[in-house]
Amino acid sequence: MERPAVGELVPPERTLMGPGPSEVHPRVRRAMSTPLVGHLDPSFLDLMNDVQELLRYTFRTDNEWTIPISGTGSAAMEAAIANLTEPGDTVVVPTNGYFGGRMASMVRRAGGDVVEVDAPWGAPLDPDDVRTVFSNHDPDLLGFVHAETSTGTLQTNVPELTEIAHANDALVIADAVTSLGGVEFRVDDWGIDAAYSATQKCLSAPPGASPLTLSDRAMAKVTNRDARVRSWYLDLSELADYWGEERSYHHTAPITNIYALREALRLVAEEGIEERWERHERVAGALRAGVEAMGLDIASESWLPSLNAVRLPEGVDDTAVIDHLLDEYGVEVASGLGDFAGEILRIGCMGYSARPENVLFVLSGLGDALENDGVDADAGLAAAREQL
Ligand SMILES: Cc1ncc(COP(=O)(O)O)c(C=O)c1O
């Protein structure tokens, strides 16, 4: 067999304004190029404490059980769902976006029964609908997506949702993949029992070590399970050996990803979590003002600063716009999924990508791509500049 003649890695320059990954902060990239130590090295054990403390700050929680799960956001999602769902449990999941569907799929694999609470794509769940589902089904768990990346929808009324669940002795799992570190999210104040996220969105680190937090009450359910968790890798009672007091081997931690996460979280703490939420709202607000001044609409009823669902004019081919932005500007944005397929562009504004120059650049490219579709690019740029 011939030796493969594969050239040096030279990724193209991109401005990442899609649904994730966002651009990685230069300090995070530097942290990733520092030398490896072992995952049981005393220095790494200290670093694990740093990461846990910084994660608690970012999640707004005192939960002891706050750790990064090895893998992407779906790994942390599956860790939450697989550990908290016992076979036969009834779990409420939303139908208003793509990731509620993924929750349902994970619940079924964990042996749970799914009950859906409906809302249209682009709308948040209505607490009254959640109340009705609770009175009809007596669920054990409520899952919801705080920031639905497929529709750019922010779930409002979270404390009301958790109250409904707790009044029925159910636990609450929140998907904060596209909100953690970018959009107001408060685990303790809002009464959330378990929340998971990812690093490649508002935290601006590469994917690979994904935040998870569980309250003592949630962890008590995990440790008192009758049936063992079906996944060995994600079983939190096994992972406790490594992330708990003993710090003994469970699996080799993704050391470089943990370095990256630590630096990304240090950036959150330096900026201040509330200031960071405010920056996302301001910079994404300029993006929103820009697209609206161009004559385009936000497709979601409950705007999510980190993910802007921009409705395209009738008859415009979304892939042509996406290709134009990538080929001519090196800007990544994404198409719609599910009910929104072919109708919207998903423009992210997350973490290190949430910068004024990125917003002005994406608006220029968008105006250019839609030049012949009645879009007023100059008005868009002027409106964004005014907000910034
Ligand atoms: C809301 C939401 N949940 C879960 C996931 C899954 O995360 P990952 O793709 O990192 O596995 C994503 C990914 O985009 C997401 O947006």
25-56 as b/e: b if 16+ CB within 10 A? bebbeebbeeeeeebeeeebeebbeebbebbb
Mean pLDDT (whole number) for 61-65: 97
With a cut of 90, say whether residue 374 has pLDDT above it: no
Alpha carbon of 338 to ligand 1 centroid (Å): 15
Mean pLDDT (whole number) for 40-66: 97
Mean pLDDT (whole number) for 194-205: 98
With a cut of 90, say whether residue 241 has pLDDT above it: no
What is the model's pLDDT at position 56? 98
What is the model's pLDDT at position 123? 98
Q: Cα–Cα distance between 327 and 143 in angstroms, integer?
A: 39
With a cut of 90, say whether residue 99 has pLDDT above it: yes
Helix (H, G, I), strand (E, B) or coil at 3: coil
Q: What is the mean pLDDT of the chain?
A: 97
With a cut of 90, say whether residue 176 has pLDDT above it: yes
Q: Cα–Cα distance between 226 and 199 in angstroms, integer?
A: 32
Cβ of 198 below 6 Å from ligand 1: yes
- Tally Cβ neighbours within 10 Å of residue 323: 12
- Atom 10 of ligand 1: nearest residue by CA position: 73
Cβ of 306 below 6 Å from ligand 1: no
Q: Cα–Cα distance between 40 and 181 in angstroms, integer?
A: 28
- pTM (two decimals): 0.98
Alpha carbon of 371 to ligand 1 centroid (Å): 33
CA distances from 171 to 92, 110, 140, 347 (A): 10, 16, 7, 33
Q: Determine how β-strand 344-348 pairs with β-strand 307-311.
A: antiparallel
Cβ of 72 below 6 Å from ligand 1: yes
- pLDDT digit string, tens, across residues 313-366: 999 999 999 999 999 999 999 999 999 999 999 999 999 999 999 999 999 999
pLDDT band for position 240 (50/70/90)? confident
Cβ of 177 below 6 Å from ligand 1: yes
